Amino acid sequence: MKKTRVIVTGATGRMGQAVINGILDDPQCSLVGAVDIKGEGKDIGAVLGRGNLGIRIEQNLEKVIEDTLPDVMVDFTIAQVAKTNIDTAIKFGVYSVVGTTGFNEKELEEIQGLSEDKGTGVFFAPNFAIGAVLMMQCAKEIIKYLPEAEIIELHHDQKLDSPSGTALRTAEIMALERGLNSNTAQGKEKKGMYEKVKGARGGNHNGIPIHSIRLPGLVAHQEIIFGGLGQTLSIRHDSIDRNSFIPGVLLAIKEAPKREGVVVGLENLMEM
């Protein structure tokens, strides 16, 4: 069986290292390159404590692609860097699996256009934890019957963007299901309600309040609270270790390149 040749950008980051360990342990995948602005020249195996693998960390993504001829690039960096990485991968015909969040609408439109022009696909997932995907799919059903809901998302204090991509994606799915579209203006406060402290009610995305918490000790967590007449219903997902994302990343590496164009959401690769 031909192995999928993979390079990882953001290789020395916490998610990058977890992804590389997952790839190394998967018999259907082969790590062929590691890209990062840190640790240039070091063997990625030594960085991971797995002994030398003969794969040196490089900064120049184009050179790594030309030297290794990968099938897939996995990106866990930051939005500004990831956009350039994705553009480069598309140019060379390399499929991108992207876990980075924080892109603006213009950047996503540019990626979509470039993908269509070059015929090279891109996969985005706001969350690779399969449990988180199941949570979003449950929310999609619950919102039909309990349309009033709020989202609380909690992440480690090094996460740069808020709300999280998972929270935004969840709100969009819920809003669409209850009859709104993703371009709907933010919902208004109910009559008579006001904030004594600005922002106390959180942000508002498609009429659904989102509250973001950033604290040390957290990894990635989300709770959705639904309210109805005389009742509430809560669903919550907790990633207590970054290894929770690896099965989803490996699924995307193997299955996403079979799809054309830009695909968003792990649910599109699962038999839901």
Q: Which residues are catalytic?
A: 155, 159
Do strands 220-228 and 208-214 pair parallel, antiparallel, or not at all (unpaired)? unpaired
Measured CA to CA, the distance from residue 253 to residue 179 in angstroms comes to 33
Measured CA to CA, the distance from residue 221 to residue 41 in angstroms comes to 35
Token duo for residue 79:
């939005």
Closest C-alpha among 105, 100, 206, 238 to residue 161? 100
**Other C-beta atoms lying within 10 Å of the C-beta of residue 160:** 10
User: What residues contact residue 159 under an 8 Å CB cut-off, 6+ apart?
Assistant: 214
Integer Rg of the chain from CA? 20
**Other C-beta atoms lying within 10 Å of the C-beta of residue 113:** 11
- 73 beta partners: 7, 96
**Residues 68/4, Cβ–Cβ less than 8 Å:** no
